[in-house]
């Protein structure tokens, strides 16, 4: 199925959880924030939240800034 990830289309497996998506992206779950369709997904729910087709996912982290 297709989702939008950080503004770009991406193919992911059916039943993909937030946790598995982060694993696939090689991202440390303790260093990111995840927003799904405008709602923040709390870290303790990464395991249980299953992505749906056309979900808009944003994965954010700390970057350089003043």
Partner 1 sequence: MRDGATLKFAGKEFRSRLIVGTGKYPDYPTMQKALEASGAEIVTVAVRRVNLDRTQESLLDYIDLKRYTLLPNTAGCYTAEEAVKYARLAREVGMSEMVKLEVIGDQRTLFPDNEELLRATRILVKEGFVVLPYTNDDPIMAKKLQDAGAAVVMPLGAPIGSGLGIRNPHNIMIILQTVQVPVIVDAGVGTASDAAIAMELGCDGVLMNTAIAGAKHPVMMAEAMRKAVEAGRSAYLAGRIPKKSYATASTTMEGMIE
What residues make contact with partner 1 under the rule CB under 8 A? 5-7, 25-27, 31-35, 40, 42-43, 58-66
CB burial class (10 A; 0-12, 13-18, 19+) of residue 19? middle
Residues of 5-16 as b/e, b for ≥16 C-beta within 10 angstroms? beeeeeebeeeb
Q: How far is CA 29 from the centre of its chain?
A: 10
Cβ-based nearer residue to partner 1, 1 or 22? 22
Least distance to partner 1 from the beta carbon of 1, Å?
A: 18
We find the least distance from the C-beta atom of residue 56 to partner 1, in angstroms, to be: 12
> Cβ 19 to partner 1, closest distance in Å?
15
């Amino acid at each position: 199925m297709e989702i939008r990830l950080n503004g770009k289309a991406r193919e992911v497996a059916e039943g993909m959880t937030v946790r598995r998506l982060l694993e696939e992206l090689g991202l440390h779950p303790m260093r990111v924030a995840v927003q799904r369709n405008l709602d923040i997904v709390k870290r303790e729910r990464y395991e249980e939240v299953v992505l749906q087709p056309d979900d808009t996912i944003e994965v954010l982290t700390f970057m350089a800034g003043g």
